A and B are shown apart, each in its own frame.
Chain A
Amino acid sequence: MTPREQARQERKAALIARRAEVAIEKAREKAERDAQERAEAERLDAERRETARVARVAFDAYEQVRGRLERMRHADPDAVALTAPERATAAALEHLWTASPETIAQLRRWCEPVGGARSADYDAPSPELMVRLKRDHRVLRRQVGAELFVPEPQVLGAFGVWRGDDFYNEDTIRGFSALVALQDGAVLDTCRRAPVRRLVWEIGGGWGGFAHQFKTICPNVTYLITGMPTSWLLSAVYLMTLFPHARFRFYGDALADDLWADWDTTDFVFVPEAALAGVQPPRLDLVLDLGALRFMDAPRVEVHVRRAFDWGAPYFYSLLPAAVPAPLIETVWSRIAHAFWLHPVPPRAENIPPVADGPAAPVPGVEYTHLIGWRRLRA
């Protein structure tokens, strides 16, 4: 073979080798793509199965709760006289008495009437909402860290925005700010690091969002929720879904005297407001009002405060709007102050204005006033 032919042969062999390499590379890339697609399909399938499983758990919980509430409604017709906003809330939840599995699978989207964020706002969040949410999240995360942040669980039609690994909405941020206020008020650790079981009472209970956050941060508490039983179709169902292994007890399951049997191994207790007078808990370590009191009339607020005091609560937390309107000062603030020394918790924010000689200037971006009351010696 001439050198020329030899060179041609070598070029040909090199070309074949390169083609083979390219073919192998292509085959490898295709195999990788196929594997990724299979993994993605499996992940989506697992997600779908998980979503369906959670929806089944939620609907089972819903049926249990609804059955209990129906029995309770017949057994105890003496309901509390609700205010107009509370009646509107009850009316807005009426459809939940006949909810379908599909409705319960999207439970988070029905929480707006009980103080929840509006899900439609998150379908295409406005720039203002995004700016506000990110600012509040950033301020709290920077100043306090991640320790008290409980993200929005991605179940039952959850909605929100992402920042890094955090998924949240206005409800998540409100709960986060309440937990931070409880920590700044040196109250949270009484439940968080206590060697013995604590009992916490949330008035109203909303849709269960704050109960979920609190119980996640402070697992060693028994959490009492009182208020309008209709709202338990949201709160109890939500909590039973998120804490499938927790122990729940409902007023009416047992005689009033037995309600607190094994209380320290029970996680959530639900009692209607109308039955409160007969269910004194064995202890009470903290009372939480995430906005329920402001929709009640003054006598009912007073009854709740008096009950908290009589049951021995050392601390009373209340969340009010940032610039507390005069009617709320009269109906809520001053009524709590009868039995508890009230201390507003300084807001966590950026650009807090300097202290002024006159009334405090509003702090930009702060939407809530967090009040912590310390029990008075005498009410």
Chain B
Amino acid sequence: MSSTEHRTEPDTAAPPRDTPSQHVAYHPSAREYIRVGLLLVALTSIEVMLSYSSLTGVKLIASLFLCTIIKFVLVVGYFMHLKFDNGRFSRVFALGAIGAFTLYAVVLLMFGVWRTS
């Protein structure tokens, strides 16, 4: 099947309602994506090494969560394009993510999970 089966129009022939607010203004190149991917692999490797290290308790959990948060932000920011997309999408997602984190952190505190762990 030919790769030109879809209609290909010149970039200048944008649809009438095509405004900057509807599209990602900037898309990273494949090379940038690969760099982000390698960074994710490196961070995951660090996490696995930390789990086998002599670190324990709060230090281990804090180090693991730091790596997790960086990985989360990299995927959401670059792979899901929130870094380059309309800010409203970021706010919608942040509402869910931060709302869920806050809600369940309160639940865990109420049940005293930090004391039992």
* A and B part of one assembly: no
Chain A contacts to B: CB under 8 angstroms: none
Chain B contacts to A: CB under 8 angstroms: none
